[in-house]
């Protein structure tokens, strides 16, 4: 029986619930908005499948990728609609061209982030772009397995812990499954995201568009845009946005993100995609501030798919990629103000981010001042 004694030991991947033969496990949100498994013990048959399927209890071994590239889509329109270099789209199109299905994260009608699948190129737009919220997996793993049993190609994209959860749930390799993880800093609370949206909207309006990584101000200093039926609610650089500030300050990441069990190649993914931060210094000829993807290949299957794409690429090294992309191998540090944020949040809402963000800056400045005042011995 799966038991969560320490919340950092659960990524919320849904693998245990998906594997349960009696469906006695449900994932329910806690007071911070993160989902954790709860077992209906009278229905549990003590088969142990949930524990055997858990990627935290049985992590894969760490490894380095077999090849690393800086890459970008030659189609400028697709690249501008994507968060980084637009590599997800040609991979997805290759799978769809084989009659397959593509899984990824999208916004639902209530602007929650959920995992879903598409079967047409036209529908891919809903899966493009970064969503800085933990997505709800639900029955996704079961759907993936059903498509694979139909002998269809499947592309599954998700965070490293989600890919690890799927691989553990399947318990075997499928030749027609391609798994792609995104470089993940950590997943923010869906509750905080929902609260933020409620605070910026009125009762007589509804949100019609959210873009967390818009390139109107460039790729490296990207903007956030949120529009409603009454007009633009936010349009500015993401680093000035209260929700983005709280995310980047690590105030409301899932506890497991501070001890991620799926980094360093331990997800089992075929390919890793992310932003190639540092490209301006390492490979300036590739940089035009419109987005360059970091592509890390982990398997021969991944190499075969990447090699078939018509994209602009330059081979690089894992050591170079790590220089300004620490999230490839390291978990996000826990902010010492995280607990204070969650004490304040129920009564202050997003005002807690404003106050603690400035407090964090003051603490950092004070630490610098103390170092300058400390006499050298």
For 110-156, write each residue's pLDDT tens digit: 999 999 999 999 999 999 999 999 999 999 999 999 999 999 999 99
As to burial, measured by CB atoms within 10 angstroms (0-12 exposed, 13-18 middle, 19+ buried), residue 237 is middle
Whole-angstrom distance, CA of residue 152 vs CA of residue 267? 22
Tell whether pTM > 0.85.
yes
| CB 46 within 8 Å of CB 21 | no
Residue 96 in contact with residue 121, Cβ under 8 Å?
yes
Check residue 369 and give its pLDDT: 61
pLDDT, one tens digit per residue, over 226-256 is 999 999 999 999 999 999 999 999 999 999 9
Domain range annotation of the chain: 7-53, 67-188+253-328, 190-251+336-373
What is the percent of the chain with per-residue pLDDT over 70, rounded to a whole number? 96
* Contact assessment for residue 59 and residue 42, using Cβ atoms and an 8 Å cutoff: no
Angle at 264 between CA 258 and CA 266, to 5 degrees: 95
Phi, psi of 106 (to 5 degrees): -140, 165
Checking phi first, is residue 297 left (phi over 0); if not, alpha (psi -120 to 50) or beta?
Answer: beta
**Which residue has better confidence, 273 or 377?**
273
Q: Quickly state the pLDDT bin for 1 (edges 50, 70, 90).
A: confident
Structural domain 7-53, CATH architecture: 2-Layer Sandwich (3.30)
Query: Given this model, what pLDDT does residue 29 score?
Result: 97
Distance of alpha carbon 308 from alpha carbon 300, whole angstroms: 12
- How far apart CA 227 and CA 207 sit, in angstroms, is 6
Task: Between 265 and 368, name the one with better pLDDT.
Answer: 265
Do 168 and 15 form a contact (C-beta atoms < 8 A)?
yes
Strand order in the sheet with 271-275: 113-118, 101-107, 154-158, 177-182, 271-275, 293-297, 67-73, 311-316
Q: Kindly report the number of other CB atoms within 10 A of residue 365's CB atom.
A: 10
* Mean pLDDT across the chain: 95
Cα–Cα distance, 57 to 70 (Å, whole number): 34
Helices (H), 260-373: 279-282, 300-307, 318-323, 338-348, 351-373
Expressed in angstroms, the distance from the first to the final Cα of the chain is 57
Tokens of 205: 């309006």
Q: What is the pLDDT of residue 220?
A: 95
- Rounded to whole angstroms, the Cα distance separating 272 from 164 reads 13
If you average pLDDT over residues 305-319, what whole number do you get?
A: 96
């Amino acid at each position: 029986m799966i038991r969560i004694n320490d919340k950092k030991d659960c990524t919320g991947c849904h693998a245990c619930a998906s594997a349960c033969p009696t469906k006695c496990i449900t994932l329910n949100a806690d007071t911070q908005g993160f989902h954790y498994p709860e077992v209906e013990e009278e229905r549990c048959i003590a088969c142990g499948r949930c524990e055997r399927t858990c990627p935290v209890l049985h992590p894969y071994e760490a490894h380095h990728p077999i090849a690393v590239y800086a890459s970008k889509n030659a189609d400028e329109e697709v690249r501008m609609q994507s968060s980084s270099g637009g590599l997800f789209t040609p991979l997805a199109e290759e799978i769809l061209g084989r009659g397959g299905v593509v899984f990824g994260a999208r916004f639902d009608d209530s602007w929650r982030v959920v995992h879903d699948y598409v079967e047409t190129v036209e529908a891919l737009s809903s899966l493009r772009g970064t969503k800085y919220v933990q997505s709800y997996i639900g029955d996704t793993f079961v759907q993936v397995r059903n498509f694979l049993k139909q002998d269809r190609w499947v592309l599954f994209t998700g965070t490293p812990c989600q890919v690890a959860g799927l691989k553990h749930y399947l318990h075997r390799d499928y030749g027609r499954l391609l798994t792609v993880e995104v470089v993940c800093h950590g997943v923010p609370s869906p509750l905080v995201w929902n609260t933020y949206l409620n605070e910026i909207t009125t009762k007589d309006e509804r949100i019609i568009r959210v873009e967390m990584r818009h390139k109107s101000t460039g790729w490296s200093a990207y903007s956030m845009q949120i529009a409603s039926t009454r007009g633009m609610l936010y349009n500015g650089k993401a680093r000035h946005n209260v929700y983005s500030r709280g995310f980047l300050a690590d105030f409301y990441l899932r506890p497991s993100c501070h001890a991620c069990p799926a980094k360093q190649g331990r997800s089992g993914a075929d390919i890793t995609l992310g932003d190639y931060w540092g490209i301006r210094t390492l490979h300036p000829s590739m940089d035009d501030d419109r987005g360059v993807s970091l592509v890390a290949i982990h398997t021969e299957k991944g190499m075969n798919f990447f090699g078939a794409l018509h994209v602009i690429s330059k081979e690089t090294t894992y050591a170079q990629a790590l220089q300004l992309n620490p999230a490839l191998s390291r978990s996000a540090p826990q902010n010492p103000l995280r607990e204070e944020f969650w004490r304040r949040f129920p009564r202050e809402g997003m005002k807690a981010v404003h106050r603690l963000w400035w407090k964090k800056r003051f603490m950092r400045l004070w630490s610098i001042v103390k170092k300058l005042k400390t006499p050298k011995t």
